């Protein structure tokens, strides 16, 4: 079995975001980066499946972007992935989901991956499109927002989130793309011996341009920091009085408390 895990490096959300000079992205200086959290669930699930199958499957981790994306790639290797592919693109943030997905599909097309894991969305853009488009381009099944995953005798049984508190259990054969949601698993911390072992693992670098579609289907028109709402009304003092005042305000100002 061959498994691919697609991960993205995203800025830490506690950063102060400043719009860049071009006005279509943020200024990258002074930002801290980390692995997209949903992709950590993807890495963990791939490694758990490898362990379940006695170490048989080969797990490849893939990331697109400038050289800095090697940081989360190394973390994924330390978590247990076997090898890595870096699709180099210094302008990956300027690509739309279609182009990113086409690069992944282009790279994967002749590699016969049985399973492709990725996060259900990225924490920065949160488009939640890349996994589904990859499956469409590769012509394989796609199951999104998965919160439970079991593999037996070549068949996957997964629980996925739907709306309205509904979930559903789906069954599918490989090959397939699975996008991972909060609650699927608890990503492991890389141990020091595994970090050391990871240093010897192979990282192949290739230009993303060799695989990606050249034309973007959508583009960013404007990119701006939303206007801050003014600070609200703060009540202090006697608990009973505050509760009365608040309930009074809510009755008057909202349509839902009466």
Partner 1 sequence: MSVRIISDKCTACETCITACPFGASEMRDGKAFITEVCTMCGSCVEVCEFKAIERMEEATTPAVDLSAYKGVWVFAEQHKGDVASVALELLGEGRKLADKRKTKLSAVFIGHNIKSKAKDLIAHGADLVYLADDPALRDFNDDSYAAILTTLARKHKPEIILAGATAIGRSFFPKVASSLYTGLTADCTVLDIDAETGHLHQTRPAFGGNILATIVTPNHRPQMATVRHKVMKPAPRNDSRIGDIIEIPYTQAGDLRTRVIKTIEELGETVNICEADIIVAGGRGLGSAKNFHLIEELAKVLGGAVAATRGAVDEGWIPYPHQVGQTGKTVCPKLYIACGISGAIQHVAGMQSSEVIVAINRDPDAPIFNVATYGIVGDVHEVVPIMIKKIREMRG
For partner 1, the closer CB: 40 or 82: 40
DSSP class of residue 16 equals: P
According to the 3-state scheme, what is the secondary structure of 56-77?
CCEEEEEEEECHHHHHHHHHHH
Nearest residue to 207 via CA among 92, 110, 35: 92
* DSSP element (H, E) containing 142: strand 141-152
Tell the smallest beta-carbon distance from residue 37 to partner 1 (Å): 5
Tell the smallest beta-carbon distance from residue 199 to partner 1 (Å): 29
Tell the smallest beta-carbon distance from residue 250 to partner 1 (Å): 7
Nearest residue to 125 via CA among 24, 16, 48: 24
For partner 1, the closer CB: 164 or 193: 164
Residue 210's SS3 state is helix
For partner 1, the closer CB: 64 or 198: 64
Q: How many residues does the chain have?
A: 258
Let me know if 128 is exposed, middle or buried by CB neighbors in 10 A (0-12, 13-18, 19+).
middle
Tell the smallest beta-carbon distance from residue 197 to partner 1 (Å): 28
Tell the smallest beta-carbon distance from residue 55 to partner 1 (Å): 28
For partner 1, the closer CB: 37 or 114: 37
* DSSP element (H, E) containing 229: none
For partner 1, the closer CB: 111 or 196: 111
């Amino acid at each position: 079995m061959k498994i691919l895990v697609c991960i993205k490096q995203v800025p830490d959300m506690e950063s102060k975001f400043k719009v860049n000079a071009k006005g279509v992205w943020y200024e990258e200086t002074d930002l801290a980066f980390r692995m997209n959290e949903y992709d950590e669930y993807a890495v963990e699930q791939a490694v758990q499946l490898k362990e379940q199958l006695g170490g048989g499957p080969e797990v490849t981790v893939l990331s697109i972007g400038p050289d800095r994306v090697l940081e989360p790639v190394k973390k994924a290797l330390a978590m247990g992935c076997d090898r890595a592919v870096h699709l180099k693109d210094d302008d990956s943030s300027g690509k739309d989901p279609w182009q990113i997905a086409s690069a992944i599909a282009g790279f994967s097309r002749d590699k016969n991956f049985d399973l492709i894991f990725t996060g259900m969305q990225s924490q920065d853009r949160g488009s939640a499109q890349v996994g589904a488009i990859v499956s469409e381009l590769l012509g394989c099944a796609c199951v999104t927002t998965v919160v439970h995953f079991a593999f037996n005798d070549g068949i996957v049984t997964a629980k996925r989130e739907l709306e309205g508190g509904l979930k559903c259990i789906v069954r599918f054969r490989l090959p397939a793309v699975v996008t991972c949601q909060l609650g699927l698993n608890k990503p492991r911390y890389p141990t020091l011996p595994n970090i050391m072992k990871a240093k010897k693992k192979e990282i192949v670098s290739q230009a993303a341009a060799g695989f990606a579609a050249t034309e973007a289907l959508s583009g960013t028109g404007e990119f701006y920091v939303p206007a801050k709402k003014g600070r609200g009304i703060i009540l202090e003092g006697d608990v009973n009085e505050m509760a009365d005042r608040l309930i009074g305000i809510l009755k008057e100002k909202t349509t839902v408390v009466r």
